[in-house]
A and B are shown apart, each in its own frame.
Chain A
Amino acid sequence: MTYALKFENVSKSFSTTDAIKDISFEVAKGEFFSLLGPSGCGKTTILRIVAGLEHPTSGNVYINEQLINDKEPHLRPVNTVFQSYSLFPHLTVKENIIFGLKIRKYEKKEIESSLEEVISLIDLKDYLNRKPHQLSGGEQQRVAIARALINKPEVLLMDEPLGALDLKLRERLQVEIKSIQESTKITTIYVTHDQTEALAMSDKIAVMSKGEILQVDDPESLYERPTNKFVSNFLGNPNVFKGVIKNDKFISDEFEEIAVTNTKNGPGLIFIRPEIISFGFNKVTSPSMNCVEGVVEHILYRGSWLDVIVSVNNTKIEISKENNFDLSIPDEGEKIYLYWFINKTWVVLDDEK
């Protein structure tokens, strides 16, 4: 497989702190690759190293098989969409978009046709002669995307491009960015701290914490089969219990016995996602199911779904159910049974960190 971008044992330290430690990963050509993690985890540093705005302390960075460690930013075939948009306030929207072509002295005709092309992807026709300060945040960000795209970079870098926008607009632009990326097949590195955004848009996600990449996988594997304590906790909102695993049985203070599959023995954690737990008023006995008894503590009616907090042996388990308008909603204080498939409980042992 040919890659568009490769990091090989890259580290970067700023005076006393390590921003990223020994990072290695590859991004395939045409891939939408997200760097996901809480703020300060080093994801933006990786992006800035690709852009050439920072230089790695050690390790190698390749774009299209070419070592680019010491290349100046203006000589790299990459373009960035900055979180703060960074549009030039003294230039019109059009002048902003064609800046990269003009700097490289493209012919007028080429510039015009490139502009046409990018405008066919991102509709900005009505704004071309306006100044950035006359645009809304969403419009400004679309200009910033057009300004990067028009250069047809080998790698497009996006640094939390939707971070400053409200939820509705963010969701709309997610779809827009994704469809532009799919039609242009531009290799994209997308930095975000928003897990739903990363899950919705990416071909692959690298989850980061404290300067390290913990897991790189496609969204489905990452969400359903995390291999790591941090990743398990960071994505979604799972129920987590600490205990000991012995012969495919999990034992803790709260639970007598919860069945798990395919795991070694030792102290560790189990994770159960709220949405895989079903509930009913009768006990379920099935060899493939776990079933526990609990008392409903709170019901949070959220419209399109329902959160039920159930107390099981004095510990709380959260259940999340999609609202199909046909749910038999239990009362608070009512006794119910919770059940879920054994193979959907996953385990991270302590020695797996």
Chain B
Amino acid sequence: MTRNKLNNILGLPGIIFLSVFFFTPSLFIFRYIFGSRTRTGKTSFDKIYFDSFSQLLDFNVLPIINKSFVTAFFVTLICFIVGYPFAYYIKKLSTTMKYFSLFLISIPFLTNFLSRTYSWKILVSKNGLITKYVSMFYDVSSLLFTDFAVVLGMVYVYLPFMILPIFTSLENIEDSLLESAKDLYANPFKAFYYVTFKLSLPGVIAGIVLTFIPSLGAYIIPQILGGSKSMYLGNFTVLQFIQASNWPLGSLVSLIILLFMVFAINLLFKFEGQRNL
């Protein structure tokens, strides 16, 4: 058997899995877009319908898209501002402390996602710890069901996804490169910017992708911490599928989220690719 053939076999399980559980459902979703919701809540496929498109316009989803984007943007930004220095800090720790910190960061993953989000609900509710603290400066009685709570909850959940790839790329930078930058007249700030930061960009980009994309399509956090009135792309989609039984519209919104994500990833990788030419 040639090496190439063996290689193909290694990819087979993954290819089969993704075909069955990702590409095929994607095709179903695509077909659903052109269906029509009947009175009973079933979807009719007897011809090509464009109902979902006109409903999309009727629903005025633009503010929802806008809100989701702004939220995802701020979540990503905060994760970066908090995560980068933290990743840098961990890199500088001794080997034992380094891996201990990484262990601590991954502990929340061992706890159920729903219960973690519900804990946040307690913290931001009327007598919650965070509400009490914030009310010392602002006149608020509860932070629950605010955008603030949603952003807070998302930053909490997605922060590790920013820290870990940045840490990995920082970890791969040889100390000797910093020494040679200093030897070539770079002060500590310039040495950081021109060497450390530039070389950590692949990690930054991975971190941005890994936080921005789930933030954009988030469902549970907006649902629990944002309440039913605050509408994000994620819960809007779920609403269409579950409550309204409007699968065509739900499918269309899913596709739109998917396209946005593909576009965003593409943009980032293009930027990254240009640097490496």
The size class of the interface chain A forms with chain B is: 20 to 34
* Interface presence of A10 (CB below 8 A): no
For the complex, give the distance between the alpha carbons of A151 and B195 in Å: 19
Q: A74-B186, A74-B187, A89-B199 are in contact. Are A99 and B181 (CB under 8 A)?
A: yes
- B186 pairs with A86, CB closer than 8 A: no
Q: How far is the CB of B14 from chain A (nearest CB, A)?
A: 29
Q: A86-B176, A88-B177, A88-B195 are in contact. Are A99 and B182 (CB under 8 A)?
A: no
- B183 pairs with A73, CB closer than 8 A: yes
Q: Which B residues are in CB contact (< 8 Å) with A103?
A: 181, 184-186, 190, 194
Q: A86-B176, A88-B177, A90-B275 are in contact. Are A151 and B185 (CB under 8 A)?
A: yes
- B174 pairs with A86, CB closer than 8 A: yes
Q: Which of B136-195 contact A (CB under 8 A)?
A: 174, 176-177, 179-187, 190-191, 194-195
For the complex, give the distance between the alpha carbons of A89 and B200 in Å: 12
Please, what's the 1-or-0 string for B26-63, where 1 marks a CB less than 8 Å from any CB in chain A?
00000000000000000000000000000000000000
* Interface presence of B198 (CB below 8 A): yes
- B176 pairs with A82, CB closer than 8 A: yes
* Interface presence of A80 (CB below 8 A): yes
For the complex, give the distance between the alpha carbons of A99 and B190 in Å: 11
Q: How far is the CB of A153 from chain B (nearest CB, A)?
A: 9
Q: Which of A83-112 contact B (CB under 8 A)?
A: 84, 86, 88-90, 99-100, 103-104
Q: A89-B199, A90-B275 are in contact. Are A74 and B185 (CB under 8 A)?
A: yes
Q: Which A residues are in CB contact (< 8 Å) with B275?
A: 90
- Among A80, A88, A104, max chain B CB count under 10 A is at A88
Binding site for B on A (CB under 8 A): 51-53, 72-75, 78-80, 82, 84, 86, 88-90, 99-100, 103-104, 131, 147, 151
Shortest beta-carbon contacts, A-B, top 9: A100-B184, A86-B180, A73-B182, A86-B176, A80-B183, A103-B185, A74-B185, A103-B186, A99-B184
15 contacts between A and B (CB under 8 A): A51-B179, A72-B187, A74-B183, A74-B191, A82-B180, A86-B174, A88-B181, A99-B181, A99-B184, A99-B186, A100-B185, A103-B181, A103-B184, A103-B190, A131-B276
Given contacts A73-B182, A99-B181, A99-B186, could you give 9 more A-B pairs where the C-beta distance is less than 8 Å?
Answer: A52-B183, A53-B179, A74-B186, A82-B176, A82-B179, A86-B180, A88-B177, A89-B199, A103-B190
